[in-house]
Structure 1
Amino acid sequence: MAGTVVTSTAEFPVGTPLLAHGYRIGTGQDGGFAEYAKVPSDWLVPLTHLSTQQAMAIGTAGFTAAMSVLAIEEAGIRPGVGPIVVTGASGGMGTRSIDMLSSLGYEVVASTGKEDTHELLKKIGATKTIGRLPAPGNGKFRPLSPSAWSGAVDTVGGKTLAHVLSSLSYGGVVAASGNAGGIELPTTVLPFILRGISLKGIDSVMMSIIDRRALWRRIESDLLPSRLSLTTAEIDISNVAEALESVQSGTHVGRAVVRVKGGF
C-alpha cells in the first residue's frame, strides 16, 4: 500500500509519501484496501521520486523482480553473456522483470502460456517470446539439457524450475520466487555439480527495512521500469474481487492498482 502521512509519532512528518509491503501487512494485520492504515515506522519506505500510484504499479511484484535482478548481477552475469529467461512472463513479477532487465541491456526471453500476450511482452522489452517450459510433449525429464540461458527469473516453480535448472549455462543462476507450478522440485544434483549453477531463493517479505529502503532507492533510479503503463490497470476498490478471480483463473496480465476512496 502507498499513501501520505496524516499523523505520526515517529520519524516521518505529516505529508510524507510512503509505501509499505511485506512483514505482517495483509496477514498479521489489515492490508491496504482502506483509506487509512496504521503502520509501524520501521515497516515504511519513504518515496523520493515515485508517486504513490507508480509505487503501487511496481509493488511487491516489482520489488521481488528487483531482488531477482540483484541475484543475477551478484552472480557476475552481465548483459551480453547470454539470454535471461523469465518464466510466468505475463504476470506482475514477470512483466516487471522483463522491463528492468531489458532496460539494463540484458537479452530477455519471455516464457508464457498466454499466446495473446507475446506482442505485449516484446513491447516491454522481451527479445523473444516462447511458450511454457518445458514445452508440451517435450518427453521425459533430462537432468542435463543443452545450455540455453545464462540466468533465469522463475515465478512458476515445479517442473518449469526443474527444466530451467537443467538448461542453464555454466555458472548460471536462477532467482526463484514462485510456486504456481507446484512446490515439488523434480531435479537432480547434476546441473549444480557439473555446471556450477546456483539456485537463489527470493523472499521479499522479511527483508530488513535498511536493505528494503536501499533497494527502493535503486528502483527509483536505474531499476525503474520504463514501460509501466503498458502492463498496469487501475481499478476501483469495488472491483477487487473480480480482479482476484482473474488472477486465480490465470487470465490476469500485469498489475492492477486499486483506487480506494480519495484516489492517489
Structure 2
Amino acid sequence: MEQTLFKTLRIIEEEDRYIRRIESRKIGDLPEGDTIVKVQYSSLNYKDALSSVGNKGVTRNYPHTPGIDAAGTIVKSSDPEFSEGEEVILTGYDLGMNTEGGFGQYIRVPSQWVVKKPEGLDLKESMVYGTAGFTAALSVYKLTKDVDKNAGEVLVTGGTGSVANIASKILVKMGYEVVVATGKVDSQKEELLSLGVKSVISREEIQDEKKKAMLKSRWAGVIDTVGGSILGDVIKSIQYDGAVTTCGNVGGDKFESSVYPFILRGVTLYGIDSVQCPMDLRLKIWEKLAGPWKADNLQAMVEVVSLEEMEGKMDAMLAGKKVGRIVLHHEE
C-alpha cells in the first residue's frame, strides 16, 4: 500500500514563486497518522486559495497539498472505531494547512480528526457544505440557543458568501425572520430573496457613521461573517438579551465597541471556531446538517470540477470573483 501512486495538486516554492503542479505521489510520502482515507470529494475554500499562493499564515512549509475539507472512505486505520470502506468526513484541525489535504486522492491523518458520515448525507453533499456549511451551522447553533424564532428579525451579514448563504437557509428552514445585508444589493438581491429571507438590505444601512455608543434596538440576533467595523456597528443595535456570532474577518480583524450593549442590554457575543471544535459538538452539528437543517436541492448549489480545473477556480476566488460552492471530484 505504501507504494500506491495517486494524483495530487502540489504547491511548489521556487525562488520566491509558488508553482501549482499536478503530480503523482506515493501513499508512503504522506505524513504520519493512524488513518488513511481515499478522498472522493473535497471543496474549495479561501484558505486553500491562499495556501496556493504561498500565504505563510495558512501554510508554513512547501511543497504542500491544499484542501481543508475531504470526504471519502477509510482505507486503513489502527483505530478500532473505524473500519475499511467506511464513509467519513474531515474538516478543520490542520488538514490542508500544514498537513497534506483533500486536493490529493489520499490523505493520512489522526483518527481523532475523522467524523463518520451521518445518515442523510452522501459524500458529495457533505462537501457542498464543507467548512463553510459547518461554520454556518455552528453559528446558527450558538445563536439559536439564546434567540427564539419569535423574538424578532435576525440579521445575516456578508449575504453573498457561502457561510452567510447557508446560515440564511438554515434559519429560514427553522422559521426565523431573516434579513440579509450585502454590498451587492443591485446584482444579488433576487438570488438572496430566493433563499426565503424576509428582506435584503445594503450594508450601508447597518453602518454607524456617527460612531455612537448605542443605537436603537433592531435585531434579535446577528450572524456576522464579515468582522471589522460591521461587527462593531451591529452589536450596538441588538435587542435586550440578544446575541451575535462572529466567524469572519474579510471586513478587518479589529472592531470597536463600548461596554454598554453588554451591560445595558445583556448582549452575548459568540466567537465561532470550526477548526478545533470539540468532537462531541462536531458530531451534533453534522447530524443536524444531515437531518432537520438539510438544505433543499443541496446539490444544485454546487459546481463540480476536476483537479485540472481547480487552478482557475482558485485564481477567480483570489481575484474576488463570484465562484459559488466548488466541489472537487477525484476521478478513479
Bin of the TM-score, shorter chain as denominator length:
over 0.9
Q: Percent identity?
A: 35
Q: Deviations over 1:41-65 (max 9, x none)?
A: 2111111221111000011111111
Tell which structure's C-alpha radius of gyration is larger.
2
- Larger relative strand fraction: 2
- Structure 2: tracts of 5 or more residues without a match: 1-69
| Higher mean C-alpha deviation, range 99-108 or range 118-127 | 118-127
Which residue of 193, 215, 236 corresponds with 1:166? 236
Q: Over the residues paired in the alignment, what is the CA RMSD in angstroms?
A: 1.7
Are 1:122 and 2:193 counterparts?
yes
Distance in 2, matches of 1:131 and 1:246, equals 24
Which deviates the most, 168-177 or 211-220? 211-220
Q: Secondary structure at the match of 2:108?
A: coil
Match of 2:121 in 1: 50
Q: Following superposition, which runs of at least 4 residues in structure 1 exceed 6 angstroms of deviation? A: none
Mapped contact 1:133–1:160 kept (Cα < 8 A): no
Letter in 2 for 1:32: G
The number of aligned residues is 260
Q: Identify if the C-alpha distance between structure 1 residues 248 and 190 changes in structure 2 by more than 3 Å, giving closer, same or farther.
A: farther
Query: Scaled by the length of structure 1, what TM-score is found?
Result: 0.92
Q: Deviations over 1:61-112 (max 9, x none)?
A: 111111111111221x111211111111111101110111100000111111
Matching residue within 56, 78, 83 for 1:9:
78
Q: Deviations over 1:138-161 (max 9, x none)?
A: 632222112111001101001110
Whole-angstrom distance in 2 between the partners of 1:251 and 1:132: 19
Residue 295 of structure 2: SS of its match in structure 1?
Answer: coil
TM-score, structure 2 length as denominator? 0.74
Deviation at 1:204, TM superposition (A): 0.8
Identify unmatched segments of 5+ residues in structure 1.
none
1:5-56: CA deviation from partner (whole Å, max 9, x where unpaired) = 2233322222211110111111230110011111222111111221111000
Paired letter, 2:301: T
Q: Which of these residues, 18, 41, 46, is aligned with residue 88 of structure 2?
A: 18
Kindly indicate whether structure 1 or structure 2 has the higher relative contact order, using CA contacts under 8 Å at least 6 residues apart.
1
The match for 2:132 among 61, 86, 96 is: 61
The alpha-carbon deviation at position 225 of structure 1 amounts to 2.1
Shift of 1:122: 1.4
Q: 2:318 aligns with which of 233, 244, 248?
A: 248
Would the aligned equivalents of 1:90 and 1:253 in 2 still touch at CA under 8 Å? Answer: no
Residue 73 of structure 1: aligned partner: 144
Report deviation, 1:214. 2.2
- Write the distance in 2 (CA, Å) between the matches of 1:227 and 1:140: 43
Q: Distance in 2 between matches of 1:243 and 1:142?
A: 41
